[in-house]
Structure 1
């Protein structure tokens, strides 16, 4: 009887937990209950309507961010436009599941902000009518965005689906940063301690790391030094550019382009050679033993231990990982001379994105919504949506340009930005920097590093942001999920435990049986069509 009671109690708890997750702080269901009223839309100027209208948006948010209703940007927009947004925010890591539940149930918001819709989502739900085409609304009610699309035909191409419709608004940031997501840093304090220069070759780098881990570099009498750490399969800080030194760059998709041919990097002999080589570093204790398993929070914590423990790391920037107090101990390490020379991979990340905002079929005020969202594409507003608002991140100089204020003491921009900037729909073009907005200091610094050290050695080709047909996307999903899971598991295993030489032929055979040739044919066709 007690066991039965416990089982029933457990079922009740699980049911309540599921109900709480499904409902969350959801306002989406309010779209079914509200009264839709006639509105007088002002076609130009502000406010957009004379009497307040409420729209219901669902959006993900960073764990560092407050609810969007608390953000200055949306409070100010509400005052200016008379459009109130009732926000349904979900944490980034749970958002995709929630989004899919809403789409499956039909319990829809008016729009998904920072939508996270994949290309397959856009095509599937666009054809079903769940999300609505936006091209006519853009042309008739969004002059700011229309101007930006005229200035950048490539951006319009990016957001236009194969059926000719535009199902999502764009996000664009032309800074020249994302094509090189990795910068390598080394502990200059430790180099100086042992009378070593900044390494210029892979072997010199190996020897420096070996000295760090074997000679008690931090002087605390413990074997706690980490030679090299990185973010395995991370969007940044991954091992791709160290693999590139063997002749074939690697990236998270393992998809590269060489002389117009689309290749799977993790099936190339140079990849095998690189992984076998770096496994030797693991055996010597030069690579973080948790490098293939730790998450970003754990990685960042290693840079902020009481005693300095990291000898070298790969990441987007230094301050975010090691903190403001320790950043001066590290210097940039330019690309090393490896077996194939100095090679820096070019990522497939695009500065143009097509998932910033989608409008659903239940939205009773599409024209109003379009006018509201067009405010985000005014150049000054785009900058604030991306980096943060006037008064918190920016102030205006005598020419009206947005210039950066001093950050709160000891707070990196990487931590401050998500608290004040929602991201989402915006367009910041290259020519806006220095005229509309001053480039963020850490972006200036990073761009200078890339221009001086990395860009001269970067490969020329990468895979573009191809918009495939729905049938092709379905097939890519069917093949790629299993292939990527298999490859990434084997890569981590071989790096940390070895065995790539013995298992390589069987691995290649397995990839062929899993459909890798067909997958690469689809990507090659997409590439060729895009380049026509």
Structure 2
């Protein structure tokens, strides 16, 4: 009898335990979420920090140290003197102490401090040119902190960003599965379609010609410009194509090659889930043949392979801006110094090549910008730092960081159109302070996530050179033939990254020299083609493509469907 009672008690106890466990496992998601939110509030109450997204960040003022490259245009970064610093501190109750690195060698100094275990404060912020290789290396060594736990705990704006733009999280997650840095978001419609080409309007009018639409029409136009004195000064001083090796998509081959093959600025593309080096294909060879023909007939200025941007502008401005027939460039502001000259150039649509091929460059991963924030592992107040960073990814913080104070530096217009044809989101008040000495913001040191692109600015009055409208209209034209073939932003493990960067440096160096030699005729595209391909193999081009293909297959395959 006694044994029976004991057995019954055991059964009852087990049943009770089972009910409790069953209750936990069948709890509704809403109930679980409510409990988690309650736990977060209790934790916040104990630490003095706010719940995720709430302000101020801390009940008591907290001081953090931010390491940042200095800027010659920011006159003061201090509270009470700099508008952005003052506003951020007032909103968050977080006081900032600054640790400045000289802008000229900020990257070198940062790497030295990281490798030696130096004191980098509580947050690394700004353009230190931190790349995936650096983050993977210092992250795996425990020098830079993994932050996905902090984002999960405190992120509101960051979680929204990762959800709305999956490319960002995918491109910035290290091979070990951790996140070590947060990038800026590049919302720039025209920037991602910037491999463009422009022709001289007055030349077209003088020659009674239309904007070229094919490679043959371009040849005929350049030839006429060179031979028929369209600037009317009685001299044959007109220049066909003028470019630059270093300006914004201003290399002589870049736009024209899109009439023969896909390629990005490194001569690469992805098609049918295969990484392809365009410069190993017959189509690329055909493009070089065409460019060599232009060069042989004096239709490409030879300085195009050595000019910097300033030199290109000097050439374009000859004869009061009426000397050059055509310019490869992202925009007129990058190749012409005066608005009158800029307004004299018209966008050329993507050309059709001899075989009917036609495409335009589109960098679908351009939205993933450079890293702006990383947290040193030996820093303090990581929770406060992450909450501050997340706040800076909010829309008002971005607008103040880019344009300044609303009502003082910019305002929201009423009922006007933007450069992109939609209702205008903002209008500058006075001069844009970007690159100007000022105390309004931090000159891009905390560039984060814009709510809209610069093409949302109110359109300028008729007759003024409106760069945003010009670039938007050009990009919209190019969108019609844009292909999703660009190379992703790969994140290699450290040893692979080191080898990849070595190969990339050598191959790009060779390609820059050899493209110029093939175009001007120092190398013969017919006789030297096989030798050129053998040279590429010898310096590791097959390995270079193989490294990318392996990473693509592991992380990106099927993403372009």
Please give the alpha-carbon distance, in whole angstroms, between the structure 2 residues aligned to 1:243 and 1:48. Answer: 56
Inter-CA distance 370–95: structure 2 relative to 1 (3 Å threshold): same
- Contact 2:48–2:59 (Cα < 8 Å) also in 1: yes
1:521 corresponds to 2:549? no
Aligned to 1:422: 444
- Contact 1:168–1:354 (Cα < 8 Å) also in 2: no
Please give the alpha-carbon distance, in whole angstroms, between the structure 2 residues aligned to 1:155 and 1:261. Answer: 22
Aligned length: 483
1:394 to 400, 410, 427: 410
Aligned to 1:173: 186
Which secondary structure does the structure 1 equivalent of 2:219 belong to? Answer: helix
What TM-score, normalized to structure 1?
0.80
1:470 corresponds to 2:494? yes
Aligned to 1:109: 120
1:485 corresponds to 2:509? yes
Aligned to 1:32: none
Inter-CA distance 208–397: structure 2 relative to 1 (3 Å threshold): closer
- Contact 1:133–1:165 (Cα < 8 Å) also in 2: yes
Aligned to 2:333: 319
Aligned to 1:404: 427
Unaligned runs of 5+ in 2: 1-46, 416-422, 460-466
- CA drift of 1:195 comes to 2.0
Aligned to 2:478: 454
Please give the alpha-carbon distance, in whole angstroms, between the structure 2 residues aligned to 1:144 and 1:362. Answer: 25
- CA drift of 1:128 comes to 1.0
- CA drift of 1:221 comes to 5.4
Which secondary structure does the structure 2 equivalent of 1:360 belong to? Answer: coil
Which secondary structure does the structure 1 equivalent of 2:107 belong to? Answer: helix
Aligned to 2:42: none
Larger Rg: 2
RMSD of the alignment, in Å?
Answer: 3.4
The one-character-per-residue Cα deviations of 1:25-70 (angstroms, maximum 9, x if unpaired) are xxxxxxxxxxxxxx96555313646446251322375x77767668
Inter-CA distance 142–458: structure 2 relative to 1 (3 Å threshold): closer
1:329 to 340, 344, 350: 344
- Contact 2:243–2:307 (Cα < 8 Å) also in 1: no
Which secondary structure does the structure 2 equivalent of 1:307 belong to? Answer: helix
Note the 1:72-151 alignment, pairs <5 A.
72-81=83-92, 82-86=94-98, 88=100, 90-91=102-103, 94-110=105-121, 111-114=123-126, 115-151=128-164
Please give the alpha-carbon distance, in whole angstroms, between the structure 2 residues aligned to 1:41 and 1:201. Answer: 63
Please give the alpha-carbon distance, in whole angstroms, between the structure 2 residues aligned to 1:94 and 1:68. Answer: 20
- Contact 2:244–2:308 (Cα < 8 Å) also in 1: yes
Which secondary structure does the structure 1 equivalent of 2:162 belong to? Answer: helix
- Contact 2:197–2:326 (Cα < 8 Å) also in 1: yes
- CA drift of 1:473 comes to 1.6
- CA drift of 1:511 comes to 1.3
- Contact 1:58–1:109 (Cα < 8 Å) also in 2: no
- CA drift of 1:119 comes to 0.9
Aligned to 2:267: 254
Unaligned runs of 5+ in 1: 1-38
Please give the alpha-carbon distance, in whole angstroms, between the structure 1 residues aligned to 2:289 and 2:74. Answer: 42
What TM-score, normalized to structure 2?
0.76
